[in-house]
């Protein structure tokens, strides 16, 4: 029980390590606490106390006072290809914390904790605050490993055009276009995410293989052979998720096309703790949910789609491949 109760302290220590740049300070090899403190311009004794806790949870190794990064600790480096530094900072942001502070009230009343805390939904909150929008986009960005896993999990050989719906900073679409040179891509999202996506996808935009467009996927999505919904549907209630899927169905070629849904899919029984933690996070932050496979099937059917393939991805994620149901429109 005590280990569970001090869990928030561990998260805060990881966020502090990200904020201070400890992983970047150790990127060139082991250092003593004094050497690292001098490089980071912080106080040695408090730093060493933080480092000892980071060693206890597996982010650094402590060899007689010389500290080096573990493979997990390397993920806090800003230069790591699968860096989670921005995610650590986002999860420690004041609006994540304040929304979670309303969890008990949300269970009592059924009100969404984020809305109770701030008087508006999280997407409106972010859209009105450019700095928070940038942090949110960076923190939600798909790491290189995740993006590559998605790009390789589906056979894009016969695909001409891919639409990344709600594609954020463009990491997933970048991986698809890099791996499949015949594919043309379009990323659609709200204005807050446009600039990071344009910057990441600039080489493909210059080649004429990619465009980044502003749009609301609850209203419509661009036409494409394949629509990617990467960690999108869990942000929305069932009615909104069905609407997004129906929009993808309507934008497919006649009688053909695919929707690729990357989400944590809950089992019908059992308790996978990471997926269930994110399920509760969706309840707190967005009013969405992580869903079981049977629940996804029901929503897909309402949108005129059905699952025709499924594959595993990292971090308890799965990729569902959905195709149109013949003769059925949403």
Catalytic residues: 234
Q: At what angle do helices 194-207 and 130-140 cross, to 10 degrees?
A: 60
Distance CA 116, CA 111 (A): 7
For every residue of 58-117, DSSP letters joined together read: TSEEEETTEEEE-TTGGGGSTTSTT--HHHHHHHTSHHHHHHHTTHHHHHHH---HHHHH
Residues 6+ apart with CB under 8 A from 270: none
Q: Using alpha carbons only, what angle is made at residue 105 by residues 104 and 109, rounded to the nearest 5 degrees?
A: 125
C-beta atoms surrounding 60 within 10 Å: 26
The encoded tokens of residue 199 equal 């910057």
Residues in the chain: 330
Query: What does DSSP say about strands 31-32 and 161-165: parallel, antiparallel, or unpaired?
Result: unpaired
């Amino acid at each position: 029980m005590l280990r569970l109760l001090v869990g928030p302290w561990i998260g805060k220590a990881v966020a502090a390590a990200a904020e201070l740049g400890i992983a970047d300070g150790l990127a060139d090899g082991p250092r003593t606490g004094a050497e690292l403190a001098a490089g980071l311009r912080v106080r040695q004794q408090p730093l060493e106390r933080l480092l000892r806790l980071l060693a206890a949870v597996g982010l650094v190794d402590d060899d007689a006072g010389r500290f080096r990064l573990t493979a997990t600790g390397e993920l806090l480096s800003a230069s790591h290809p699968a860096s989670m530094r921005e995610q650590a900072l986002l999860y420690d942001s004041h609006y994540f914390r304040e929304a979670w502070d309303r969890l008990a009230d949300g269970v009592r009343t059924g009100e969404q904790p984020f809305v109770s805390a701030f008087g508006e939904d999280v997407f409106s909150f972010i859209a009105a605050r450019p700095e928070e929008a940038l942090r949110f986009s960076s923190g939600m960005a798909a790491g290189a490993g995740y993006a590559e896993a998605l790009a390789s999990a589906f056979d894009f050989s016969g695909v001409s055009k891919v639409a990344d719906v709600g594609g954020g900073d463009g990491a997933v679409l970048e991986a698809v276009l890099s791996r499949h040179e015949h594919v043309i891509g379009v990323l659609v999202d709200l204005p807050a995410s446009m600039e990071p996506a344009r910057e990441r996808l600039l080489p493909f935009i210059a080649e004429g293989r990619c465009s980044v467009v502003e749009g609301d996927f609850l209203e419509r999505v661009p036409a494409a052979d394949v629509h990617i919904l990467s960690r999108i549907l869990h942000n929305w209630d069932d009615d909104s998720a069905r609407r997004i899927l129906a929009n993808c169905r309507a934008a497919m070629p006649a009688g053909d096309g695919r929707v690729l849904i990357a989400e944590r899919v809950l089992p019908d029984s059992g308790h996978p703790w990471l997926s269930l933690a994110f399920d509760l996070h969706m309840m707190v932050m967005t009013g969405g949910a992580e869903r079981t496979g049977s629940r996804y099937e029901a929503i897909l059917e309402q949108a005129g789609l059905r699952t025709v393939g499924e594959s595993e991805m990292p971090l308890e994620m799965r990729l569902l491949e959905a195709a149109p149901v013949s003769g059925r429109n949403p």
